[in-house]
Amino acid sequence: MIGDSWTHKIARFFVLPLVDTSITPNHITTIRLITGLIACSAFAVEMNLLGGILWLISTFLDRADGELARISGKTSKWGHKFDYYSDTFITALFFIAIGVNLRDSLPDYWSLFMGIFAAIGVIFTEIYAEIIDQKKKNANEKAYPGIAGFDFDDILYLFAPIVWLNWHLPFLIGASVGAPAFAIFTWYSSKNI
């Protein structure tokens, strides 16, 4: 499935020089995982500028690994699973990290509990979205298609500015309810395909 969003097109441009090299999509996924882990760690200890920069790099690398796999013909089931689990883990970890970041903002560690609820919602949404993607007959169809050149996953780019603008408390509150609700909606959608 070739990504046609703006981000995929930009990533494709940047990975073209890597096509005939020894660099594989799994190398990029590994760097994506590492930068995502460091970004989440930075958010957790309130190093929000560094966390945001690394988050944006990690999110871009999430597009780059798939583009390199497709244009180089280096796709594999293991590579897809590595990418899928890395993406799910890092996105879920983001919410736990900002829950830790905001631990003094709410009494009794409520921000941490909200981060965990949001993370669980993300994990189950990703599981059911993957089920939907696998059930679709057309390989170019996705559980949540994009619009106007933007993929549904491009929302991840907004996470860094949300933290930089100090909007992560209301974002976390919304995600602690919204992510589990979206997981239920995605589960319901997966049953009706």
57-78 pLDDT, tens digit per residue, is: 999 999 999 999 999 988 899 9
**What is the per-residue burial (b if ≥16 Cβ within 10 Å, else e) of 98-109?**
bbbbbbeebeee
Highest mean pLDDT of the ranges 19-28, 90-99, 152-161: 90-99
What are the residue ranges spanned by the domains of the chain? 6-191
Using 50, 70 and 90 to split pLDDT, how confident is the model at 23?
very high
Give the residue among 139, 149, 29 at the shortest CA–CA distance from 90: 29
Q: What pLDDT shows up at residue 191?
A: 87
- pTM to 2 decimal places: 0.92
The pLDDT tens digits for 81-133 are 999 999 999 999 999 999 999 999 998 899 999 999 999 999 999 999 999 88
* CATH code reported for the domain at 6-191: 1.20.120.1760
Cα–Cα dist 58/113, whole Å? 25
For the cut 80, the answer to whether the pLDDT of residue 139 exceeds it is no
Q: What pLDDT shows up at residue 4?
A: 74
In percent, the amount of the chain with pLDDT more than 70 equals 96
Angle at 157 between CA 151 and CA 163, to 5 degrees: 145
Using 50, 70 and 90 to split pLDDT, how confident is the model at 3?
low
Q: What pLDDT shows up at residue 148?
A: 77
Average pLDDT, stretch 40-48? 98
Angle at 7 between CA 119 and CA 99, to 5 degrees: 20
DSSP β-bridge partners for residue 147 = 150
